[in-house]
Amino acid sequence: MGRRGVPPKPTALRIIEGDKHTERYNHHEPIPRSGRPECPDDVADAVREIWDYTVSELDAMGIAHPCDRDTLLVYCEAVVAHRRASALVAKSGVLQKGLHGGFVRNPALIIQRDSAHVIRAFAQEFGLTPSARTRIEQKDGAGSGDAGNPFAGAG
pLDDT in tens, 76-129: 999 999 999 999 999 999 999 999 999 999 999 999 999 999 999 998 888 787
Domain contains 29:
no
pLDDT the model gives residue 42: 96
Q: Does the residue 73 lie in any domain?
A: yes
Asked if the structure places residue 9 within a domain, the reply is no
Which has the higher per-residue pLDDT, 135 or 116? Answer: 116
Query: Which long-range contacts link 41-46 to residues 24+ away (Cβ below 8 Å)?
Result: 43/73, 43/76, 43/77, 44/80, 46/80, 46/83
Q: What angle do CA 48, 50, 51 make, to 5 degrees?
A: 60
Q: Is residue 115 part of a domain?
A: yes
Does 17 reside within a domain?
no
In a domain, 139, yes or no: no
151 has pLDDT over 60: no
Q: How many domains is the chain built from? A: 1
Alpha-carbon distance 111 to 1, whole Å? 24
Cα torsion for 56, 58, 61, 63, to the nearest 10°? -130
Q: Considering only 17-21, 22-26, 28-32, 138-142, which range has the smallest mean pLDDT? A: 138-142
In this prediction, residue 138 carries a pLDDT of: 59
**Is residue 13 in some structural domain?**
no
Domain that holds residue 46: 34-133
Q: Angle 57-78-59 (CA atoms, 0-180°, nearest 5)?
A: 15
Whether residue 95 is contained in a domain is answered as yes
3-state secondary structure of 149: coil
